[in-house]
Amino acid sequence: MNRRMRSFFATVAGAAVFSTGLGAAAAVPATAQATAAACGLSTDVSTITVGDAYVPLKDDNKVAFSFTLKDPYGPPTDKGYPVVTTGAAGSESYHVAPTITSVQVQVLMTGDAAGPAVTLDTAVPPPNHVVKPPLIPNPGETPAPFTHTPSAPTTAEVKGSFLIKESNKDKVGNWKLKVTVARASGSTESCKEFAVAGQSAVASGTVSPTTVQLKKGVDVPLKVVAEVKNAKNVSMELRSHDGTMWVNVPLYQDGDGLYRNTAHLADDTTPGSWYFVVKATRNNEQIEATGHNFTVVAPVDGIATKTKSRITIKAPAKAKLSKAFKLSGKAYRGTKGYSGKILELYFKKKGKKSFTFMGFVKTTSTGIWQKNVKQKYDGYWRVIVPGTSKTKKSYATSKLVDIR
Which of 79, 71, 378 minimizes the C-alpha distance to 252?
Answer: 378
**pLDDT given for residue 143 in this prediction:** 53
Averaged pLDDT of the chain: 80
CATH for 288: 2.60.40.10
Domain boundary (154, 178, 196) is at 196
Tally of structural domains, the chain: 3
pLDDT band at 277 (very low <50, low <70, confident <90, very high): very high
Which of 232, 212, 398, 215 minimizes the C-alpha distance to 312?
Answer: 398
State which residues form the domain around 235: 200-304
pTM for the whole structure: 0.63
Domain boundary (196, 222, 256) is at 196
Domain boundary (270, 304, 338) is at 304
- CB contact burial 380-390 (16+ within 10 A = b; e otherwise): bbbbbbebeee
Mean pLDDT of 256-285: 91
43 lies in the same domain as 161: yes
**pLDDT given for residue 10 in this prediction:** 28
CA distance 93 to 89: 14
Which of 389, 398, 330, 394 minimizes the C-alpha distance to 358?
Answer: 398
Please give the full DSSP string across 344-367, using - where no structure is assigned. EEEEEETT-SS-EEEEEEE--TTS
Please write the tens of the pLDDT for every residue from 43-57.
Answer: 999 999 999 999 999
226 lies in the same domain as 372: no
How far are the Cα atoms of 114, 177, 272 from residue 192, in angstroms, in the given order? 15, 5, 55
**pLDDT of 86 higher than 80:** no
CA distance 359 to 381: 12
Please write the tens of the pLDDT for every residue from 216-226.
Answer: 888 899 999 99
Helices (H), 146-216: none
247 lies in the same domain as 286: yes
Lowest mean pLDDT among 91-105, 238-252, 331-345, 361-375: 91-105
**pLDDT of 31 higher than 80:** no
pLDDT band at 139 (very low <50, low <70, confident <90, very high): low
112 lies in the same domain as 85: yes
110 lies in the same domain as 186: yes
**pLDDT given for residue 123 in this prediction:** 55
54 lies in the same domain as 172: yes
Query: Does residue 121 or residue 392 have the better pLDDT?
Result: 392
CA distance 34 to 171: 18
14 lies in the same domain as 159: yes
338 lies in the same domain as 381: yes
